Amino acid sequence: MSNGKRLHPVAIFFLFFSALKELLVPLIAAFVFGRGASSWEFPFTVYFVVGGFLLLFLYGYLKWVTFIYEVTKEELKIKQGIFIKKQRYIRRERIYSIDITAGVLQRLFQLVAVKIETAGGGNEPEVLLSAVTKQEALDIRKQLLDGEKEDQEIHSETERSELRPKKAWILPKNHLFLAAITSSGVGLAFLALMAIVTQLENFLSEQLLINSFGYLFQSSIFLMGLLVIVLVILSWIVSIVGTLLKYGGFTIKKNGDEIEITRGILEKRQLTLSVTRITAIRVVESPLRQPLGLATVYVESAGGGSKDEQLSTVLFPLIKKRELLTHLQDVVPDYAFEYPIQSLPSRSKKRYIIRKVVPGAIIAAVIGYFIPFGYVIAVSILTFAFLLGSLQYKDAGFGRNVSFLWISYRTISKTLVILPKQRIQALELKQSIVQKFRALFTIKVSILTSIIGKSFRAIDVSEEQKEEILSWYSYEKERG
């Protein structure tokens, strides 16, 4: 690896902060709980903190100086390791996506990070180049993803123009605002705010808490309800700001079989995916968006997913459902066709309702017994469980054509997943003892994604429907 390169020297600080972040919790625990065993008086505390920071900085420097990468026409070579030297070779055809991001720290130094994903690469990127110049990142992406194209001789200006990225879709500002105000992130923000509220006792004086919250709890239900409403509104504002920062400037560019997705205001992200490596597309209608005819579209692929999006990639943050086929035609035309849904047999309906009502009844009984006037909440829970079970039955179903299978289902949100036959890793048939009495079956379909794969189920299909799906997928009939 004589022509290898090192990351930008600023990477030393990124590696230092990364190590500090991992050790932060144990360090705080040692500082707080270790007081009884050792002396933490000045100047020992200062020596401890300064010595720890120097060690972490030395660790960052050694990691930087021992990390060398080299990109060739055939592969990416990585050499790393402080005590144990490792060399990795990742062939170009194994690379499924390259994600270029520029966080706040990187942008201060006009640098970017490059995340390189391969099939089954795990929960973390296969390779992370935490600090390179933007031009270097573009060269790496071009060399690893466009290498085959460079090998081909381009004869005419027409051919050259066909290879230039074309804008395929831009998230309109009014849709960005709609996506923000209908985001399901309000629930997470509310839980985070509640967690902060429960920790106030650690930071405020006991007397202040008694004066403020004691008065509140002794007041009317109206004031307590008002507090909940204030927290919900704050959560909504936090969720709106987070969505605007995350999806601001969302643009999709097409370059042949490659999709280039750019998004983000604080952290700019540029992800390049190959259309040929998409393993499924999901169309999700949340309860807030479904009445407005709006949906979010996700891409499942072997590489490229992120943790905050359940290891999927957002293709369209928000679109009108009636315009779905038009947008898919512009970006992934193979997936643009009608999806007629075959409903499940009517005898499945009872099972869908029972699966929700039984656990709901247990929770309702406990609340009704232990909480004063809990019967009001108990009735609400039972009503919600019944309606949810009925809706899940109504929205469940599947469809197919020669090359695709699509499954419709609902958890809380309604989801339509479209699966290419050639990308299905396995199709599994299950039947429980209870299902056997009703002659019902569960079909489980597995695909490859960023980690080990994802599965989607059509629950309580009839025997005829089961045979139809198995016959569609199996090669046994073709061999016969």
Q: What is the mean pLDDT of the chain?
A: 81
Question: What is the per-residue pLDDT for 233?
Answer: 83
CA–CA dist 233, 210 (Å, integer):
25
> Is the pLDDT confidence value at 162 over 80?
no
Task: State the average pLDDT over residues 37-47.
Answer: 61
Task: State the average pLDDT over residues 19-45.
Answer: 64
* Beta-sheet pairing, 111-118 with 251-255: unpaired
State percent of the chain over pLDDT 70: 77
Selection from 306, 304, 246, 313 nearest residue 282 by Cα: 313
179-193, 214-228, 262-276: least confidently modelled range: 214-228
Q: What is the DSSP string of 103-129?
A: -HHHHHTTEEEEEEEETT--SS-SEEE
Q: Is the pTM of this model over 0.85?
A: no
Task: State the average pLDDT over residues 74-89.
Answer: 85
Residue of 463 and 237 predicted with greater confidence: 463
Question: What is the per-residue pLDDT for 390?
Answer: 95
CA–CA dist 55, 91 (Å, integer):
35
Question: Per-residue pLDDT tens for 298-340?
Answer: 998 866 556 566 668 899 999 999 999 999 998 999 999 999 9
Question: What is the per-residue pLDDT for 387?
Answer: 95
Question: What is the per-residue pLDDT for 154?
Answer: 47
> Is the pLDDT confidence value at 478 over 70?
no
Question: Per-residue pLDDT tens for 107-155?
Answer: 888 888 888 877 655 555 678 888 898 888 888 888 887 655 555 544 4
Joined tokens for residue 193? 């705010």
Helix (H) or strand (E) holding 167: strand 166-170
- Per-residue pLDDT band for 343 (boundaries 50, 70, 90) equals very high
Question: What is the per-residue pLDDT for 117?
Answer: 78
> Is the pLDDT confidence value at 157 over 80?
no
* Beta-sheet pairing, 424-430 with 454-462: unpaired
CATH fold group of domain 5-32+45-146: PH-domain like (2.30.29)
Task: Give the highest mean pLDDT range of 93-97, 158-162, 203-207, 467-471.
Answer: 467-471
Selection from 288, 309, 313 nearest residue 300 by Cα: 313
Task: State the average pLDDT over residues 226-255.
Answer: 84
> Is the pLDDT confidence value at 74 over 70?
yes
Q: Are the beta carbons of 227 and 114 closer than 8 angstroms?
A: no
Q: In the chain, what is the straight-line distance between the N-terminal and C-terminal CA atoms, in Å?
A: 53
Q: What share of the chain is helix, strand, coil (3-state, %, to 5)?
A: 50, 30, 25
Q: Where are the alpha helices (DSSP H) in 67-172?
A: 104-108, 134-145, 147-151, 157-163
Question: What is the per-residue pLDDT for 399?
Answer: 95
Residue of 253 and 34 predicted with greater confidence: 253
Question: What is the per-residue pLDDT for 312?
Answer: 80
Which residues contact residue 287 at a Cβ distance below 8 angstroms, ignoring those fewer than 6 apart?
412, 413
State percent of the chain over pLDDT 90: 28
